[in-house]
Structure 1
Amino acid sequence: MAKETTIRKKRFGRALADNALTRYITFSALYIAQGIPEGITFFAIPAWLAMNGKSAMEIAAYVGVIGIPWSFKIIIAPLMDRFTLLAMGRKRPWVIFGQLGLIISFLIIGLVPDPLNNLSALMAAGFFISFFGAFQDVATDGMAVDVIPENQQARANGLMWGAKTIGISASLLVGTWLINNFGFSIAISSLSIAVATIMLFPIYFKERPGEKTMPWTSGKVSPDSKQTQLRSWRHIFKSLYKVVRLKSSLVFCIGVFTVGLMFGLIDTLLPIFSIQELGWTNSFFSNVFSITTVVGGFLGMFIGGYLVDYFGKIKMLSLYLVFLTAFIAVFGSLSNLWSSNLVVYAFILSYYTLYTFLCIAVFASAMHLCWKTVAATQFTLYMALSNMGRAAGSAMLGVLKTNFSWESVFLIIAIIPLIMAILIQLINFKKHRITVDSFVILNQKFAAPQVIKD
């Protein structure tokens, strides 16, 4: 009986570092929490604005502004690496803080008066949602890099990205229905309840055994956290420079920024294109988007990580990018078939399935390129560059649509994943890993090799 209890504790324990099931459940929940506000701010609101006659330039400006804070992640990450309430874990205190800010800012956007005619206030409120969303994202990713073993990273990223996709789709579907039936304020405020509920996960689960649940509860600093915690700004930035300047890392930086342009362009394009060009309603768009992205999310959760593990990162990245180029180019060339909803459904389903698979491969690749000493900051640098590209892509759409037809816009976008597919052929993960593993930590007082229990 005692043995059975010990096994059960190991399997369903509260410490993320000690068992896989706890990790998978907690990180999936936190990624759903990221997906809910993203579904509202990046998809439901632009579709609602398009439905109410706002121009492509106005909608692109809104999406561009709310995308800016995601580029701040590289400023936030070193702060989290440098300071924390270590007795609660290296990143968990920041996860809780980011989640709290996300809840408050999510409530505030529901208070914007007459949002259709007050786009400046809507942008400002959306900006703060994105800021705290980025904050929570940095802390969650940093905690994931700290506690997920390398052999579980692709699988975990599959679950996390699948969960985020489901969160985006569900919030878009429910949010659009609430906006159309109860109004903007009630819709936004109602969905904040789901975000608040998920906050229970980082409050309940700990990074490592023996740590405090909250600052006023009992517990102590984990030896693993104490070893890994950096206590020098100079060491953080010197170590980051040392690993980022490596060839594979530099190429990856350019690649993720490039593909971020595609993400931003397509995400901003779809609600405008489907509503103003195809004549869909915002409800119809949200239904199609939600169903197709949930399918892509489930496929990503169950086979996305497995494919990367089995066939390798470069091979799968290349395959996904080439397929994306082909799908976008073919769809842009077949404007005579846009009147067929089946064709448009097929395109959206294909794009978001490949998008989910590509994100899983990109995240797993970014984690593999990280040096444990500055893993959170380095990983965040890659994600910040991708988000810079996304914000730039969102802002670019207004300019492209003003000067080109929809057919030309699609064909221009199709070039972007092809560029990344060419760039990543210059990445050598094995050589990069050997170089990183050979690094000698100059000052053991400020940093030490990470120890991860599984």
Structure 2
Amino acid sequence: MKDKTTRVKNSLGKNLTDNAKTRYLTFSALYVAQGIPEGITYFALPAWMAMNGKSAMEIASLVSVMLIPWSFKVLIAPLMDRFTVLSMGRKRPWVLFGQLGLILSFINLGLVTDPLNNLSGLMVAGFLVNFFGAFQDVATDGMAVEVIPRKEQARANGLMWGSKTIGNSLALITGTWLINNFGFSFTVFSLSIAVACIMIFPLYFKERPGEKLLPWTVGNASIESRKTQLRSWKHIFKSLYRVVILKSSLVLCLGIFILGIMYGLVDTLLPIFSIQELGWSNSYFSNILSITTVIGGFLGMFIGGYLVDYFGKIKMLTLYLVLATILIAVFAFITQLWSSIFVVFTFILFYYTLYTFLCIAIFASAMHLCWKKVAATQFTLYMALSNMGRAMGAGLLGILKTSFDWEMVFITISIIPFTLVILIQFINLKRHRIIVQSFDVSVFKMAAPPVVKN
């Protein structure tokens, strides 16, 4: 009997809440689906346009328009927490909608006629791809927070983030080759098949036992979904405020924003530094970036999450930030070695590996702090703060480079992770969970309104 039970637990099940392998596989696949369109729209498409003589202004305007939908995430998340087809799960209906929209919008991108001379058409199509990409991202993160147990969150985030990085890089490499040999439309249609195939996962796997697979199939809302579902905007924002105002959550908000500044500074710095200071070509830099991010993605998938699970989120965050401080500071003081491709390649490789590991630890910590009632909104708030930090970091680079040389710019950046080492020590994940659990107890004691089954 024991062997039979073990075999059942180790095999794939149809419910995300019942089986770890099912969760890992499903969320990794959904993150690959996000990475493929991003690899095309953010890297392969702009590079193809640049190769065909399009101006920096045209390319920059296209990319800026495509990035706009990601700022809508803060508005999308409360919508998902407020409305759903509860009999199909709290977030799975939204995942299905977002994934379907991502598939159709990606195909639509391939239908743009004469894309090199149709900037407005590319803007509209690219905007839609990223809108549904952001939509699917919010829904996937919200579902992950609700169905992934705390002990699995770091490992799951490692697999998810690594999968997205690999999907992004492989789409860039494959997409560039296909565009050069078969054209833009053929490339997008070919890669959209991969995105469409991933639809199988949210279609086949349900959140919890007894729920409907599709609206017309048999099933009912689970008891847990009914308990955690909020039915008014007032309750959503009141609950969000109640959990975000806790000390550990406020500290994480500040930490994520500051860390985002570092991300924005380095991401903006590297292409300028490598091309203007080191004399690299843009294609050479792109190849180096693809190689290093793929390596970092693989390490994150198979090592990053495990380390956070084994040693703890705050301990590993502290270690990663200390290593990031040392890495950036040491690079700043070895200016005489910047001419060595090996040295710079090693720096970029270690930075993006640490970047991946930091993202895994940060996301796992953010999930740990989330209250299931407002999971999508709360987690999206954390990510929105990171995006705001990135934007500020990108803008700060121009100011820093105007005032200082590259050596001083790197030294200034190294101060950021050092500051965060001190800040994150004020996060107490265990105490935060105890307080959030007391919220649930107080809510359950209150009389609940009648629920109509879907």
Instruction: Report TM bin, short chain.
Output: 0.7 to 0.9
Q: Secondary structure at the match of 1:230?
A: coil
Q: Distance in 2 between matches of 1:158 and 1:254?
A: 23
Who is 1:200 aligned against?
200
Give the drift of 1:346: 0.8
Who is 1:451 aligned against?
none
Who is 2:90 aligned against?
90
Give the drift of 1:316: 1.5
Q: Could you tell which deviates more after superposition, 356-365 or 176-185?
A: 176-185
Who is 1:259 aligned against?
259
Q: 1:256 to 1:444 in 2, by over 3 A?
A: farther
Q: Is the 8 A contact 1:12 1:19 kept in 2?
A: yes
Partner amino acid, structure 2, of 1:289: L
Partner amino acid, structure 2, of 1:221: A
2:142 aligned with 1:139: no
Give the drift of 1:196: 1.2
Q: Which runs of 5+ in 2 are unaligned?
A: none
Partner amino acid, structure 2, of 1:311: F
Q: Could you tell which deviates more after superposition, 406-415 or 214-223?
A: 406-415
Q: Which of 422, 438, 448 does residue 445 from structure 1 map onto?
A: 448
Report matched runs for 1:166-205 at 5 Å: 166-205=166-205
Q: Could you tell which deviates more after superposition, 79-88 or 104-113?
A: 104-113
Q: Deviations over 1:126-179 (max 9, x none)?
A: 333222111111111111111111111112112111211211221121122223
2:227 aligned with 1:224: no
Q: Secondary structure at the match of 1:15?
A: coil
Who is 1:70 aligned against?
70
Who is 2:390 aligned against?
390
Q: Distance in 2 between matches of 1:333 and 1:47?
A: 33
Q: 1:117 to 1:28 in 2, by over 3 A?
A: same
Partner amino acid, structure 2, of 1:320: Y
Q: Distance in 1 between matches of 2:450 and 2:75?
A: 20
Q: 1:244 to 1:348 in 2, by over 3 A?
A: same
Q: Could you tell which deviates more after superposition, 89-98 or 383-392?
A: 383-392
Who is 1:14 aligned against?
14
Q: Secondary structure at the match of 1:12?
A: coil
Q: Secondary structure at the match of 2:22?
A: helix
Q: Number of aligned pairs?
A: 448
Q: Is the 8 A contact 1:158 1:360 kept in 2?
A: yes
Who is 1:33 aligned against?
33
Who is 1:452 aligned against?
none
Q: 1:120 to 1:145 in 2, by over 3 A?
A: same
User: Could you tell me the TM-score, scaled by structure 2's length?
Assistant: 0.87
Give the drift of 1:54: 6.9
Q: 1:418 to 1:314 in 2, by over 3 A?
A: same
Q: Could you tell which deviates more after superposition, 205-214 or 23-32?
A: 205-214
Give the drift of 1:425: 2.6
Q: Secondary structure at the match of 1:206?
A: coil
Who is 1:345 aligned against?
345
Q: Is the 8 A contact 1:227 1:447 kept in 2?
A: no
Give the drift of 1:321: 1.9
Q: Could you tell which deviates more after superposition, 297-306 or 430-439?
A: 430-439
Give the drift of 1:61: 5.6
Q: Deviations over 1:246-297 (max 9, x none)?
A: 1221121121122223323433444455456545455544432232222212
Give the drift of 1:71: 2.8
Give the drift of 1:371: 1.9
Report matched runs for 1:231-246 at 5 Å: 231-246=231-246
Q: Distance in 2 between matches of 1:332 and 1:318?
A: 21
Q: Distance in 2 between matches of 1:324 and 1:121?
A: 41
Partner amino acid, structure 1, of 2:139: A
Q: Deviations over 1:87-145 (max 9, x none)?
A: 21111111111111212222333445565666565454433322211111111111111
Q: Distance in 2 between matches of 1:268 and 1:201?
A: 35
Q: Deviations over 1:359-406 (max 9, x none)?
A: 110011101111232222211211121123234444555676677665
Q: Distance in 1 between matches of 2:199 and 2:255?
A: 33
Q: Secondary structure at the match of 2:263?
A: helix
Q: Secondary structure at the match of 2:90?
A: coil
Of structures 1 and 2, the one scoring higher in RCO (CA 8 A, sep 6+) is 1
Q: Distance in 2 between matches of 1:123 and 1:407?
A: 38
Q: Could you tell which deviates more after superposition, 167-176 or 49-58?
A: 49-58
Partner amino acid, structure 2, of 1:141: D
Q: Is the 8 A contact 1:230 1:446 kept in 2?
A: no
Partner amino acid, structure 1, of 2:215: P
Q: Which runs of 5+ in 1 are unaligned?
A: 449-454
Who is 1:414 aligned against?
414
Q: Distance in 1 between matches of 2:65 and 2:291?
A: 27
Q: Secondary structure at the match of 1:306?
A: helix
Q: Distance in 2 between matches of 1:151 and 1:447?
A: 34
Give the drift of 1:202: 0.6
Who is 1:290 aligned against?
290
Give the drift of 1:27: 0.8
Identity of aligned residues (%): 72
2:325 aligned with 1:325: yes
Give the drift of 1:83: 0.7
Q: 1:219 to 1:184 in 2, by over 3 A?
A: same
Q: Distance in 2 between matches of 1:108 and 1:398?
A: 36
Q: Is the 8 A contact 2:300 2:360 kept in 1?
A: yes
User: Could you tell me the TM-score, scaled by structure 1's length?
Assistant: 0.87
Who is 1:249 aligned against?
249
Q: 1:400 to 1:215 in 2, by over 3 A?
A: farther
